[in-house]
Amino acid sequence: MLVDGALRIVQHLVRKRGIEIMRHAGEIPDIECAPAQINQVLLNLLSNAVQAIEHDKGRITVRTQALDGRVLVLVEDNGKGITEENLSRIFDPFFTTKPVGQGTGLGLAIAHQIIEQHGGLVRVASKRGTGTRFLVALPIAQPKVPTR
């Protein structure tokens, strides 16, 4: 599964920072998607979660489940959170809160675009000092395009 592969890729960052990963895997079917693109989305969300944690009790929770013809992936961290002012801009291209030279501001913009191209949606909730939660919902089957 793509989520497990993405978790393996970021494992070195997680171990180095002493962050605990909580994985709650509900039974989910394979989905019709461009796997490399969905992997890019997952890696971006997980990498951002790792970077948001600036304390020694870091935890990232990843949950998956199938619901109403969609696969849901939740990525939640207990990091610094996102201010309300910045929350409305996180999917804007080139928006970043990182220092100059440390981020392009394209990761979440590209992730958002990939999710929409797959007929899915992404939602985010965050509280400053508590953490951030991203929910990605992707259709199990892509809509069929009528042929003539």
Mean pLDDT of the chain: 91
pLDDT at 74 (0 to 100): 98
Q: In angstroms, rounded to a whole number, what is the distance separating the alpha carbons of residues 48 and 55?
A: 15
Domains defined along the chain, listed by start: 2-139 (3.30.565.10)
> Closest Cα to residue 74, out of 17, 141, 128, 28?
28
Query: Whole-prediction pTM value?
Result: 0.90
Predicted local confidence at residue 100, as pLDDT? 65
Chain centroid offset of residue 28 CA? 17
Q: Which two tokens stand for residue 142?
A: 């892509």
At 5-59, the pLDDT tens digits run 999 999 988 888 899 999 999 889 999 999 999 999 999 999 999 999 999 899 9
Largest CA distance in the chain: 59
Residue 96 binned pLDDT confidence (cut-offs 50, 70, 90): confident
Give the pLDDT band (50/70/90) at residue 95: confident
